[in-house]
Structure 1
Amino acid sequence: MLSRPDVAVVGAGPVGLGIAWRCAARGLRVVVHDPAPGSGASHVAAGMLAPVAEAYFGEHELTGLLTASAARWPAFAAELTAATGADIGYRTEGTLMVGLTADDLAEARRLWAYQQGLGLPVTPLRPSALRDREPALAPRVRGGALAATDHQVDPRRLVPALRTAAERAGATLLPTAVRRLSDVDARVTVVAAGCGAAALTGLPVRPVKGQVLRLRAPGGVPPGFRHVIRGYADGEHVYLVPREDGEVVVGATVEERTDTDVSAGAVLRLLRAAVDLLPELAEYDLVETLAGLRPGTPDNAPILGPLPDRPGVLLATGHHRHGIVLTPVTADLIADLVVTGTPDPLLAPFTPARFLPPNPAGPVGVTGPVGVAELAESADSAGIAGSAATGGSAATAGSASVVRSAAGVAPAVPAVGGRTGPGPSAPEEEHTWN
């Protein structure tokens, strides 16, 4: 009979699989619950790693997290390839941000000035310099800027590689849907279920629809451009992501809808904007139209860390447009939190407690290390035995004082015998996530 797992991850998208990999690599017994791994938002996603281009007004904490995670991507990609032998389509040519008309360029420059004010690497380019980099750009393009540190990865290669890495590290994937948290039997449960986290936890995670197109260059040759291109075209925002195999991902709409239907109007707008910026795309094959549901939150930022009043339950959801770029930092920090019981200061602005009423009894500190006795039992042969993991981001000792005292946060990982009840005491409605 299998022993009780140390960690159960609910959700096998890139975030859930990344957490499973990092936890299993630390010697923990890990199971992942998902009836259809990789079938959610990541299957539709373009895979832009864009902390600069995605830095928007008023989202300072999120920009900091995006930047921290993007900085981890080179090592994360190399480690994943070494562990699996997989080519995940990680490319570093950078991103060109462009404006088609004078009004488009004025709008873009306003954002670039904000990004530069944050110290982000944005390099304005004249039209001639743009075309030196990408001759296929339309003559009408008025100007642009280079975000050299904004890269890309192919999510449809990334997710299978993460699954392989997690399983090789010892994690077990179970094709089971989780209807209620009390169905999960593990010392720690990590909810990485995307939009399904709302039904499991009651937190305000909502679906945000995005429609995306995939084109293919004639003959399957590489596209006629190398950079990711993000642009404004007559007021329409569009991105174009080239792949070595000839694919070009074109996106995306942002709609407060829960369906996954593809509309003719969205296809028309995306194609028109794409061809306005890169006329050669008119000759490409349209091979896929697809819509997915991003897990959004009221402040557009992820929900990361312990769920108040639910000992042993951690959240890693609500990544909205940023699930791919935030995979490394989420995986590292959640795995560190599982092992040490102490949240990294980077997690402070993203606590689940920000969406819950304050605990009248006052804050309960997140103490650590906890759960280390169990870790020693399961990982002694790996040489971990009661210490924090050596891979990824080390948690900062004593960082609980830095964390914005998440009101009502219980210990992230129960000590030995710490969870004695059958599960959450609050009544739960039955539901299914996928």
Structure 2
Amino acid sequence: MRVPLMTAREVIVVGGGLVGALVAFTLRQAGADVLVLDAGRRGAAWRAAAGLLTPDGEGLTGTALHAEALDSLRRWPALVAALDRASGQPVFYREGVRRQQAGGGEAVTPGEARLHPPSVVRAARAGAEVRRAQVLALHPGPRGVTVVADAGGWTAQTVVLAAGVWSAAFGVTVRPVQGQALLLESPADVGAVYGPPTRGFSRYALSRPDGVYVGATARASWATTPDPHAARWLRGVAGQLVPGVTAPVQTRLVGLRPVTPDGMPLVAPHPGLPGVLVATGHGRHGALLAPATAARVLALVQAGVPA
């Protein structure tokens, strides 16, 4: 397929989800010329994400991700303020996440919070150049990286590959872990609450501007259609965590979380494509870790991606 080449750019971000949009926003705030190419794929993880910013709720204490999670959590308030100033759009950031204890009672970790991922993406994309395009190939060369897409072609000094699980098409070792959640039609303010894990699944419910969110399942799958068995289990979770909320289901959400073999996010130069940075593999922690990832990408771009 012959694709006409378009204007050269400083940075092209492949993937406009929560991680990609915040990477692009951070680069733009630093003065970079950025183009975002997003395929708008069904099953993109951010569309089904809860938006919980909870290292303790996610059981990260003592793990290899804990320090990065705490760093990212500290970065969120300033990033929220920058998004608000730049876009004038709220992201519904709220502090306060309760954790039910197995033996009874609740615990709260100061600074843990929640936000609304679709609103974050909209705010981060506001004012950015975003093209609907599925990237087909990346070709490094002496004058930068040529990006071939179904909607045209571009060149860039640096490409940031933030396409979630679809980054696997470009030689990144990442696999999908499907997560399902429910969004209930309820104006009730239930705050945000974690229940003790059941059969390895995290259980949580939180109020968002679009309803009460209840999650979440996890299984290795590329499927992007809801499973009725998962919906029934999630209804049971809702009854356990917020027993007074009996609202009907507004939406059944399905997202494909990108997971690396060691479970650690991959934010580094691509091992085989000079001029390409990779920012994916965040699993279920994309919203929590996105600020630290964006800061790391900015540092790598400013330092110059190894050729």
User: What is the TM-score when the length of structure 2 is the normalising length?
Assistant: 0.87
Structure 1: distance between partners of 2:85 and 2:247: 34
SS at match of 1:6: strand
State whether structure 2 residue 190 is matched by structure 1 residue 225: yes
Picking from 167, 185, 199, the partner of 1:216 is: 185
Alpha-carbon deviations, 1:406-425, whole Å to 9, x = none? Answer: xxxxxx155xxxxxxxxxxx
2:258/2:281 contact within 8 Å kept: yes
- 1:274 counterpart = 2:238: yes
**Corresponding residue number in structure 1 for 2:165:** 195
Q: AA paired with 2:240?
A: D
Structure 1 SS opposite 2:268: strand
User: Structure 1 residues 21, 277: closer, same or farther in 2, change over 3 A?
Assistant: closer
SS of 1:19's equivalent in the other structure is: helix
Instruction: Tell me, yes or no, if the aligned pair for 1:12 and 1:38 is still in contact at 8 Å.
Output: no
Report runs of 4+ in structure 1 exceeding 3 Å deviation: 55-58, 233-237
Are the equivalent residues in 2 in contact too, given 1:38–1:159 (CA < 8 A)? no
Distance 2:194 2:299 in 1: 35
Out of 172, 181, 193, which is 2:138 matched to?
A: 181
Which residue of structure 2 aligns with residue 312 of structure 1?
Answer: 275
2:151 is matched with: none
Residues 1:72 and 2:35 aligned together: no
Higher relative contact order (CA 8 A, sep 6+): 2
Comparing 206-215 and 245-254, the one that deviates more: 245-254
Residue 69 of structure 1: how far off its partner (Å): 0.5
Say whether residues 1:284 and 2:265 are aligned partners. Answer: no
- Is 2:55 aligned against 1:51? yes
Identity percentage of aligned residues? 35
The change in CA–CA distance for 1:273 and 1:26 in structure 2 (over 3 A counts) is closer
1 CA distance for matches of 2:198 and 2:123?
A: 39
State the alpha-carbon separation in 1 of the partners of residues 280 and 261 from structure 2. 13
AA matched with 2:81 = A
Structure 2: unaligned runs, 5 residues or longer: 140-145, 148-154
| TM-aligned CA deviation for residue 38 of structure 1 | 9.4
Corresponding residue for 2:143?
none
State the shift of 1:286 in Å: 1.3
Which letter does structure 2 place at the counterpart of 1:266? A
What is the aligned partner in structure 1 of residue 109 from structure 2? Answer: 147
Describe the superposition over 1:240-289 as per-residue Cα deviations: whole angstroms up to 9, x where unpaired: 0112x4611000001011102222221111111221232112x2121111
Mapping 1:315-330, distance limit 5 Å: 315-330=278-293
Q: Aligned-residue CA RMSD in angstroms?
A: 2.1
1:28 maps to 32
Match of 2:174 in 1: 205
Query: d(CA) in 1 for partners of 2:273 and 2:198?
Result: 49
Partner of 2:205: 240
More strand by share: 2
| Amino acid corresponding to residue 318 of structure 1 in structure 2 | G
Count of aligned residue pairs for this structure pair? 289
Q: Which residue of 2 aligns with 1:332?
A: 295
| 2: CA distance, partners of 1:327 / 1:38 | 21
For residues 233 and 2 of structure 1, the distance between their equivalents in structure 2, rounded to whole angstroms, comes to 50
Q: Give the counterpart of 1:161 among 92, 117, 123.
A: 123
* Separation of aligned partners in 1, 2:13 and 2:125: 13
1:192-224 Cα deviation digits (max 9, x unpaired): 000111111x2220010001100122xxx3x24
Q: Deviations over 1:392-418 (max 9, x none)?
A: xxxxxxxxxxxxxxxxxxxx155xxxx
- Answer yes or no: is the 8 Å Cα contact 1:215–1:247 preserved in 2: yes
- Distance in 2 of aligned mates of 1:10 and 1:330: 15
Task: Return closer, same or farther for 1:335/1:57 CA change in 2, 3 Å cut-off.
Answer: closer
- Whole-Å Cα distance in 1 between the matches of residues 42 and 223 of structure 2? 19
Residues 1:299 and 2:262 aligned together: yes
Equivalent AA in structure 1 for residue 303 of structure 2 = T
Q: What's the offset of the Cα at 1:58?
A: 6.0
Q: Is the 8 A contact 2:267 2:296 kept in 1?
A: no
Aligned to 2:225: 261
Higher gyration radius (CA): 1
Corresponding residue of 1:361: none
Amino acid at match of 2:112: D
Closer, same or farther in 2 for the Cα pair 1:296/1:56, shift >3 Å?
Answer: same
Kindly provide the amino acid, as one letter, of the partner of residue 275 in structure 2: G
- Distance across 2 between alignment mates of 1:71 and 1:301: 20
Deviations 1:1-28 (A, max 9, x none): 9752111111111211112122222222
Please state how far the C-alpha of 1:293 moved relative to its aligned partner: 0.5
Partner of 1:133: none
Residues 55-113 of structure 1: per-residue CA shift (max 9 Å, x gap): 347622x1111111110000000110011110111111x111114xxxx43xxxxxxxx
SS of the residue aligned with 1:210? strand
Pair 1:38–1:270, CA change in 2 (3 A): closer
Change (3 A) 1:318 1:229: same
